[in-house]
Amino acid sequence: MTDMKPRVIWLDDDIHSSKLRATVVRFSNYFDIIECETIEQFREKSIRFEWDAAILDVLNADERPEDVVAAIMIVGKDKPWFVFSGKDSITREDNFVKKLLEAKEYARAYASLHIYEKSSHNEQLIEDIKNAVKNQRTWQVENQYERVLNIAKDELNDPDCRKHLLDILCAASGVIEIDSHLYYNRVRVILEWMFRAARKKGLLHDKCFDSQDRINLTDASLFMAGKPTAYSGVKCKVAHFPSLISQNVKNILFITGGASHTTEVEDKDILNLTAYWKEIDTPFLLFSIAFMLCDILVWFDKYSTEHPDVEANKQLWADLDMDDSEQRDDFLSELLDTYKGYVGVVEQDSSGNFHVGDCILPYKNHPPIGFKIKLLRVIKNEKQSQDQYPVFAVKFDVLP
């Protein structure tokens, strides 16, 4: 596997001029260049784009060198940065910029020179950037997991998906520390965006989404596994998911159900993560489902590439028949059994519904948000909210 190109953000007011163009082209053989003419562009693009190192002309137009250096210290002081200039006033031996860069707070062991001179030091700067980036542990993780991270970036319509997946992979590699509790729902959200991408490719039925475009994750997983959906009244004539991928999707939905605070939660099994963390508060469960998710994303990218015909994929959609309905009834029966005696915390969704997991509570006679309750008697929900909450609580106890 070849290494990915480091991404270098380059601030120089001559970046688009003919006199610097040959140099930029040369550097582009080794790096993906993010070009900036002004410090304003640099500040904006350094936030908007992912980058690994910076090249700075500190005498950029009318900007003061100390302002340019201050900008890099704000947006990326922990990333490699290099001063590259062709101006005699700062490349000669004694100058005020060199003295500025010799300050302790700007010490950079990876830079063999305080100031690299254009033309004279081009190749030395290229090598120093390559070596500095490759020694950055975050870049090493990105390079190792480049394939799946690119899938998250290119296939999923949410820039946070790649960022959150990279956070978990970096934590699993010991590069950074994260609050693992926060990332269970983020794994679930990444899986949701994969299902949304599957819908665009005709691999997932429109009826697995409600009128507000909220996805029923249980039905989405059942549909792509070739099984009758529990609530949407549809099925797929073939199983898109291989059995192991199907089981891993189910595992992720089961584990992350207790971390979700959205109306999209539609699992019949909800793990009480809070109780789990009281017994075993390690990040290893999170890491395990994140690696499951990586395999799922790689499978999805390969499968959707092999099945690019959206209309042909939709030809596999079907409504449920009587036999399928019996299977769905069995599923709902199991769901009711699951919620008898279930203990959970009262939540309210964006539509004003009070619920515990997939079980909706009476609108008027319910405990306040945050109270822990035990469900004593539940029935099938026959109201309009049944797609989101198939179970209705008839009787419950408030726990201390």
Residue 52 is classified by DSSP as S
Residue 107: phi and psi, rounded to 5, are -65, 135
CA distance 166 to 148: 10
pLDDT tens, residue by residue, 90-110: 656 666 777 788 788 888 889
**pLDDT of amino acid 342:** 82
Confidence band for 66, pLDDT divided at 50, 70 and 90: confident
**pLDDT of amino acid 385:** 77
CA distance 7 to 9: 7
β-pairing, 372-380 vs 391-398, is antiparallel
**pLDDT of amino acid 307:** 96
**pLDDT of amino acid 270:** 44
Answer whether CATH 3.40.50.2300 is correct for domain 7-135: yes
- Over 60: is that where the pLDDT of 236 sits? yes
Instruction: Note whether 196 and 215 are within 8 A (CB).
Output: yes
CA distance 188 to 250: 11
* Domain chopping of the chain, boundaries: 7-135, 141-322, 340-400
Confidence band for 1, pLDDT divided at 50, 70 and 90: low
pLDDT tens, residue by residue, 294-347: 999 999 999 999 999 999 999 999 998 755 556 666 667 777 777 778 888 898
Instruction: Note whether 169 and 29 are within 8 A (CB).
Output: no
Provide the token pair at 151: 């899938």
Q: Tell me the average pLDDT across 263-271.
A: 41
Provide the token pair at 369: 């948000």
For the sheet with 343-345, list strands across it.
343-345, 372-380, 391-398, 359-360, 354-356, 347-348
**Nearest 10 degrees: Cα torsion 141, 135, 158, 295:** -10
CA distance 19 to 23: 8
Highest mean pLDDT out of 89-93, 259-263, 266-270? 89-93
**pLDDT of amino acid 379:** 87
**pLDDT of amino acid 94:** 63
Confidence band for 24, pLDDT divided at 50, 70 and 90: very high
State what percent of residues in the chain have pLDDT above 70. 90
Q: Tell me the average pLDDT across 150-155.
A: 94
Q: Which residue has the higher pLDDT, 128 or 370?
A: 128
Q: Which residue has the higher pLDDT, 297 or 233?
A: 297
CA distance 38 to 27: 20
DSSP letters of 117-167?
ETTTSHHHHHHHHHHHHHT-HHHHHHHHTHHHHHHHHHHSS-HHHHHHHHH
pLDDT tens, residue by residue, 379-390: 888 777 777 788
**pLDDT of amino acid 328:** 63
Average pLDDT for the chain: 87
Instruction: Note whether 263 and 214 are within 8 A (CB).
Output: yes
Count of Cβ atoms closer than 10 Å to residue 129 Cβ: 26
CA distance 309 to 306: 9
Q: Which residue has the higher pLDDT, 327 or 59?
A: 59
Write the CA distances from 332 to 69, 170, 279, 281, 359, integer angstroms.
Answer: 62, 40, 31, 33, 12
Q: Which residues does 290 contact at the CB level (< 8 Å), separation at least 6?
A: 165, 168, 169, 172, 183, 187
Q: What's the Rg (C-alpha) of the chain? A: 27
**pLDDT of amino acid 164:** 96
Q: Is 43 helix (H, G, I), strand (E, B) or coil?
A: helix
CA distance 393 to 353: 13
CATH no. of 340-400: 2.40.50
Provide the token pair at 251: 């595992």
- Over 70: is that where the pLDDT of 79 sits? yes
Residue 215 is classified by DSSP as B
DSSP letters of 190-204?
HHHHHHHHHHHTTSS
pLDDT tens, residue by residue, 167-211: 999 999 999 999 999 999 999 999 999 999 999 999 999 999 988
Listed in order, strand segments (DSSP E) in the chain are 7-11, 32-36, 53-56, 81-85, 116-117, 234-236, 317-319, 343-345, 347-348, 354-356, 359-360, 372-380, 391-398
- Over 70: is that where the pLDDT of 274 sits? yes
Q: Which residues does 218 contact at the CB level (< 8 Å), separation at least 6?
A: 229, 230, 231, 253, 266, 267, 268
Confidence band for 261, pLDDT divided at 50, 70 and 90: very low
